[in-house]
A and B are shown apart, each in its own frame.
Chain A
Amino acid sequence: NAGVTQTPKFRVLKTGQSMTLLCAQDMNHEYMYWYRQDPGMGLRLIHYSVGEGTTAKGEVPDGYNVSRLKKQNFLLGLESAAPSQTSVYFCASSYVGLHTEAFFGQGTRLTVV
């Protein structure tokens, strides 16, 4: 049982390049989330999804797009990377409902130069 798996674990991009971060979960969770973690800023919600085919904006959505074509996968895209997007990105998932805990992936460390 792998839980939540993020791909890749590390990446260096040049400014203006694009990339997609993949999150896969095998727990049949309905909810999935993308967060970014920066020093002193905690975990900030980028986008989230409450089910296959649905996505919604979080606190810091600008510069990112997401897709949830399959229930088990949640993709985060950067169309034109900027140095301000240098961060550690975490994906998380949870069952539907108010009182459900989130399970996190191992994180992706992204550097934009």
Chain B
Amino acid sequence: GQQVMQIPQYQHVQEGEDFTTYCNSSTTLSNIQWYKQRPGGHPVFLIQLVKSGEVKKQKRLTFQFGEAKKNSSLHITATQTTDVGTYFCAGRGTFQGAQKLVFGQGTRLTINP
């Protein structure tokens, strides 16, 4: 079945440093979505990538979708304390697999101010 792997599991940075999390799927995806979960909260949708090779930016956040539509990355430039939380990627497969939204293990980001 469809599996989504995400690395690293944890990342601790100094405020102002950059951060990157990587997501890999065992199968081709229809799209990749990214969510953020603040400590004690619930996942909240950030963005969706649909096209092969797509790159999207939200202020200091840059999201990429691989050419084969099987991998993705989230890069945060110059982290701030407000970026603390767990970042999840999630993918929908193709055809019947498109009904399921499968999440990666998440990357927990902590920041030293």
A interface residue numbers (CB < 8 A to B): 31, 33, 35, 40-45, 48, 50, 56, 58-59, 90, 92, 94, 98-99, 101-107
Kindly provide the distance from the CB of A7 to the nearest chain B CB, expressed in whole angstroms: 15
Residues of A within 8 A of B33 (CB): 101-102
The closest CB in chain A to the CB of B86 belongs to A42
B contacts, CB < 8 Å to A: 1, 6, 9, 30-31, 33, 35, 42-45, 48, 50, 88, 90, 92, 98-106
Q: Are B42 and A42 in contact (CB under 8 A)?
A: no
Indicate whether A48 sits within 8 Å of B45 (C-beta atoms), given known contacts A41-B105, A43-B88, A98-B31: no
Q: With A and B bound together, what is the CA distance between A41 and B5 in angstroms?
A: 10
From A31, A40, A104, give the contact of B42 (CB < 8 A).
A104
Number of A-B pairs, beta carbon distance below 8 Å? 60
Give 10 A-B contacts (CB < 8 Å), ordered by A residue: A33-B101, A40-B105, A42-B88, A42-B105, A45-B100, A45-B103, A48-B100, A92-B43, A98-B31, A98-B92
Q: Which residues of A contact B92 (CB under 8 A)?
A: 98
Contacts A42-B104, A59-B102, A102-B45 given; 18 further ones with Cβ under 8 A?
A31-B99, A33-B101, A40-B9, A42-B6, A42-B103, A42-B105, A42-B106, A43-B90, A43-B103, A45-B102, A48-B100, A58-B100, A92-B101, A98-B92, A98-B98, A101-B45, A102-B43, A105-B42
Whether the pair A44, B31 counts as a contact (CB closer than 8 A) is: no
Q: How far is the CB of A56 from chain B (nearest CB, A)?
A: 7
Question: Contacts A41-B105, A43-B106 hold; do A101 and B48 have CB atoms under 8 A apart?
Answer: yes
A98→B103 contact, CB < 8 A: no
Q: Report A86 CB to chain B, min CB distance, Å.
A: 17
Bound-state CA distance A33–B43 (Å) is 13
Kindly list chain B residues whose C-beta atoms are within 8 Å of the C-beta of A44.
103
Tell me whether B45 and A103 are in contact (CB under 8 A). yes
**Chain B residues with CB below 8 A from A92, complex form:** 43, 101
Question: Given A98-B31, A98-B98, A99-B50, are A106 and B42 neighbors across the interface (CB < 8 Å)?
Answer: yes
A98 to B101, CA, bound (A): 10
Please state if B103 and A35 are interface contacts (CB–CB under 8 Å). Answer: yes
